[in-house]
Structure 1
Amino acid sequence: MLFFLNLRANYRSLKSLKPYSIPYTGLKLGKHSFDFEITKAFFDEFEYSLVKSGKLNCRVELDKQETMIILDFKISGTIDMGCDRCLAEYPQVIETGERAIAKFGEVEIGDDEVDIITLSKNDHEINVAGLIYEYINVAVPFVAVCGYEGKTQYCDIEMLDQLDKLASGEEPPSEDADPRWDALKKIK
Structure 2
Amino acid sequence: MQIFHSTATALVILIAVAACSPPDSGTSAGPGEPVSVDASLLPEASSPPPDPAGEAGRLATDAYRGMWLSFADAATTSDWQSPKLGEFATGTALNTLTRGLYGDRYKGVVSRGRPVLNPAVSSAEPVGAPTRIIVTDCGDSTNWTRHYADSGQPADDEPDGRRHIDAIVEKQADGTWKVVEFGVQEVGTC
Bin of the TM-score, shorter chain as denominator length: 0.3 to 0.5
Which is richer in strand?
Answer: 1
Which is richer in helix?
Answer: 2
Could you tell me the TM-score, scaled by structure 2's length? Answer: 0.32
